[in-house]
A and B are shown apart, each in its own frame.
Chain A
Amino acid sequence: MENNIQSVPQNWYLLLSTFMFCIGVIGVLFRRNAIIILMCIELMLNAVNLLLVSYSSYAGNAEGQVFVFFIMVVAAAEVAVGLALLVSIYRNVASTDIDILNRMKW
Chain B
Amino acid sequence: MVISQIIFYILASFTITCALFVVFSRNPIYSVLWLILCFFSIAGHFVMLNAQFLAVVHVIVYSGAIMVLFLFTVMLLNLNRETEPHKPNLLKFAAVVSGGALFLIIIAAVRSTMPAPYVAPPLSEVGYVKNIGIKLYRDYTLPFEVASILFLSAMIGSVVLAKKERFN
Binding site for B on A (CB under 8 A): 1-9, 11-16, 18-27, 29-33, 35-36, 38-40, 42-43, 46, 49-50, 53-54, 56-63, 65-66, 68-70, 72-81, 83-88, 90-91, 95-97, 99
| Distance between Cα atoms of A50 and B46 in the complex (Å) | 7
Task: Please classify how large the interface on chain B is, using the bins under 10, 10 to 19, 20 to 34, 35 or more.
Answer: 35 or more
Q: Contact between B154 and A58 (Cβ–Cβ < 8 Å)? A: no
Candidates B122, B136, B154; contact of A80 at CB < 8 Å: B154
A contact residues around B92 at 8 Å (CB): 30
Binding site for A on B (CB under 8 A): 2-5, 7-8, 12, 15-16, 19-20, 22-24, 28, 31-32, 35, 38-39, 42, 45-46, 48-51, 53-54, 57-58, 61-62, 65-66, 69-70, 73-74, 76-77, 79, 84-87, 91-92, 94-96, 98-100, 102-103, 106-107, 110, 114, 118, 120-124, 126-127, 131-132, 135-136, 139-140, 143, 147, 150-151, 153-155, 157-159, 161-162, 164-165
| Distance between Cα atoms of A79 and B161 in the complex (Å) | 13
Q: Is the interface of A mostly helix, strand, loop or mixed?
A: helix
